[in-house]
């Protein structure tokens, strides 16, 4: 430390060898500290406690009704299904106590974009990746490919905006359990 109180010199942050995993240390014959999973015997002693006041009275909130256009029937007669995406995403937000922070229109825009992406992917599965040019009759890329990319990009941008709100305001610890919401939504459409 310098005379003026600032830190100068010394080891750079993240300098040196990266730490090795326990498996790598064992393979090299080095000593490994393993945390013991056994719980030690605890002695129960009388503790002085203070009577706490009654907790807050919490009331449940229903999922806000999504707009009609999210469940409108398409030309094929099948509903779009964006209302299900809306409800599932709202419940995901509710688990993290962030449902009031996200604008419902943002949630609707995400739901519709993702539902349209799923719709394009289904069309690609039905009609294939190639199409026929309307005037020359030659082979062209299916227009559903480009539409799918655009809807996916739009849905991802909206999702990142929603996720950023959750990340900045979530009061509970968030651990990724591998249950990807988008993966679940894609598999539900079958």
118-148 per-position pLDDT tens digit: 999 998 998 888 888 888 988 988 888 999 9
Domain ranges in the chain are 78-190
> For residues 52 and 149, is the Cβ–Cβ distance under 8 A?
no
The set of residues, in sequence order, having a beta carbon less than 8 Å from that of 126 and lying 6+ positions away, is: none
Structural contact between residues 81 and 88, judged by C-beta atoms closer than 8 angstroms = no
Rounded average pLDDT over 63-84: 88
- Residues 90 and 64: their CA atoms lie apart, in Å, by 9
Greater confidence (124 vs 64) lies with 124
Q: Tens digits of per-residue pLDDT, 87-118?
A: 999 999 988 888 888 999 999 999 999 999 99
Question: Which residues pair with residue 140 across a beta bridge?
Answer: 131
DSSP bridge partners of 141: 130
Q: Residue 140 — φ and ψ, nearest 5°?
A: -135, 165
**Rounded distance between C-alpha atoms, residue 145 and residue 142, angstroms:** 6
């Amino acid at each position: 430390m310098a005379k003026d109180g600032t830190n100068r010199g010394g080891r750079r942050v993240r300098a040196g060898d990266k730490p090795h995993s326990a498996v790598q240390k064992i393979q090299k014959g080095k000593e490994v500290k393993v945390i013991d999973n056994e719980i030690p015997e605890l002695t129960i002693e009388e503790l002085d406690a203070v009577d706490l006041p009654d907790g807050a009275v919490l009331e449940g909130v229903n999922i806000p009704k999504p707009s009609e256009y999210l469940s409108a029937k398409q030309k094929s007669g099948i509903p779009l299904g964006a209302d299900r995406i809306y409800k599932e995403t709202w419940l995901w937000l509710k688990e993290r106590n962030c449902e009031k922070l996200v604008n419902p229109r943002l949630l609707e825009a995400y739901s519709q974009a993702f539902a349209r992406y799923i719709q394009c992917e289904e069309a690609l599965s039905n009609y294939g990746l190639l199409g026929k040019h309307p005037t020359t009759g030659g082979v062209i890329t299916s227009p559903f490919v480009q539409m799918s990319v655009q809807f996916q990009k739009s849905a991802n941008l909206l999702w990142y905006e929603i996720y950023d709100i959750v990340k900045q305001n979530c009061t509970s610890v968030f651990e990724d359990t591998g249950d990807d919401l988008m993966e679940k939504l894609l598999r539900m459409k079958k």
